[in-house]
Amino acid sequence: MNTQCQIETRPEQHIVTVRTRTPVSELPVVIGPLYGRIMAYVGEMGAAPTGAPFVAYYNMDMADLDIEVGFPVDRALPSRGDLAAGVLAAGAYATCMHIGPYDQVGPAYSALTEFVQQQGRTPTGVAYEFYFNSPQETPPEQLQTLVMFPLI
């Protein structure tokens, strides 16, 4: 596996998200409809996505994941119900691109964790996965997932 890790400085990015809880086994069932709801809202507001969809992981309890599903968007939008408008903060992020099936992303997390420690940096505890292609259109071995840790 190619695990090129780096630290990037990213600008502030407007986002629209839905936060929920789910077991890891239900992720495929939960994420798709949430992306659909978010995109419908973004379109209704006359806005547009500006990047890949993502999931933020606030814990790693596979039986009860605390996640935030979202899209970066081109401008600030109002929140509505469980659709939360916000920002992905500007700052330093450690990143590692995983190419392959989603269920084999673990080594990217390990490599990124080791890289961050070697750099003497501290992650915030939240992990992001940005999904650059669709599992409905892309063979599992070609899926591209950017794993990203915000740094303190």
pLDDT tens readout for residues 73-95:
999 999 999 999 999 999 999 99
| Distances 134 to 30, 66, 83 between C-alpha atoms, Å | 15, 23, 22
Of the pLDDT bands very low, low, confident and very high (cuts 50, 70, 90), residue 2 is: low
Q: Is the pLDDT of residue 3 over 80?
A: no
Asked if residues 52 and 131 have their Cβ atoms less than 8 Å apart, the reply is yes
Residue ranges of E strands in 11-64: 13-22, 54-57
Please tell me whether the overall predicted TM-score, pTM, comes out greater than 0.85 for this model: yes
Q: What are phi and psi of 3, to 5 degrees?
A: -125, 70
Confidence of residue 46 (pLDDT cuts 50, 70, 90): very high
| Phi, psi torsion values for 7, nearest 5 degrees | -110, 130
Contact 94/63 with Cβ under 8 angstroms?
A: no
Q: Closest Cα to residue 60, out of 123, 14, 143, 119?
A: 123
pLDDT score, position 4: 87
**Where residue 55 falls among pLDDT bands split at 50, 70, 90?**
very high
Q: Which helix (H) or strand (E) holds 43?
A: helix 27-44
